[in-house]
Structure 1
Amino acid sequence: MSDPTLPSPSSPLSPSPASTADVPPTGGQAVAPASGATVIYGVGTDILQISRVVGVMTRTDGRFAERVLGPEELKVYHARQSRSAVRGLAYLCTRFAAKEAVSKAIGLGMRWPMTWRAVQTLNAPSGKPVVVASGELVQWLAERQLSIEISITDEKEYAVAFAIASRNVGNIRNIASEKTQ
C-alpha cells in the first residue's frame, strides 16, 4: 500500500506535496522507495550517546546544530528546543545518527556529494521519517536509481538510526563494481 504523501512509485525522486512544514522543502528530493521488487544496495546503522553531543554543543556554543542540520531540520530543532531542551537535543541526535546511517548505506561515508546538510530526515504527515536529499547528492542517487528507507529512535541516553538503500530490480547493473570504483 502506498502512502499518498510520498513521491509516486513511477517517480522515486520527485518531491512530496508541501502540505505541512515537516514534508520535503522546495529544492529537496524525497528519496522514496520505488514500486515492485527491489534489491538492497547498502545498509547503514548508527548509535550515538547523547551525552557526547551535549559536550560538543557546549564546546561550540550550539553551532554544532547549524553545522549538521539542514534548513528544514534546523527549523524543527529550534521549535522543539524552545519547548523542551531535552527533546530538542534528542531531535538533533536522531538526525545526526540518520545522516551517519545514510552515508554508510550509500557507501560514501562523509565525502562528496554526501555532506551533513545534503541529507535531511523530515517527517511525512503520518509521522514516518523520510530522507530528503539536496544538491549534487540528488543527482548521485538518481544516477544509481537509489531510494532510502530510514528508521530513527531515541531513549534517554542514546539515539539510533537504521537506513536501507535499495534499487528497483528492473534497473540493476553491476552494483558490486559500482561500489568499488
Structure 2
Amino acid sequence: MNRNILIIAAAAIVVFLAVLLIPRLLDRGTEETPTRTASSESSEEADRPSAADDKDEPAAPVADAGPANSGLEAGLAEAARQINAQVPISIDELTTVTAARVQGSRIQYRYELSREFSAAQIAQFRQFASTQNPESICGNTETRSLINLGGEIEYVYYGPGDRYLFSTPITSC
C-alpha cells in the first residue's frame, strides 16, 4: 500500500508541476530579465520565515548549477510563491505539501507525512523516493527541461512533530 501511495504522490506532483508551473518557468528563461532581480527575490524569500526554516534538519547540499540564470531563478521564486499561496496541498491521506522555497536555482518542496513510520519503513521510503523522484522528474519533458536548464528540484520529507526524515535532491537527468 505504501508503494502505491508513493507512486500516486510522485505522479501528482509531477502533473502539478508540469501543468501549472514548468511551462511558465521555461517561458521566463527565454524572456528579458525581470525588473526585480532574482537575488532580491531570493533574499526576500530568505528573509521571510518558511515552515522549513526553523527545523533541525541537515543542510541540503546545493550542487553548483553553473552560472546564475536570473530568469530561471525568478521563475522558481514565482513558482514557490504560487505553491505557498495554495498550501497545504493534500497529495493523499498520508502526504501533504506544506511549503516551497527557493535557494538559488533549487526549489525545495516540504512534504509532511501524517503518521509515524518505523526506521525500517523510513529507510524503504527513502530508497524508493531516491529512485522514483528522479525517474518521475527526468521522465517528464517539462521537468527534465527545467533540470537541463540548470534548475534543481528537492523534496524534503518530515514526519509528525516536524521531525526531519530525509530529502531527495534532483540535480541532473
TM-score scaled by structure 2? 0.28
TM-score scaled by structure 1? 0.27
Kindly indicate which of the two structures has a greater share of residues assigned to strand: 1
Which fold has the larger relative contact order, with Cα–Cα distance below 8 Å and residues 6 or more apart in sequence? 1
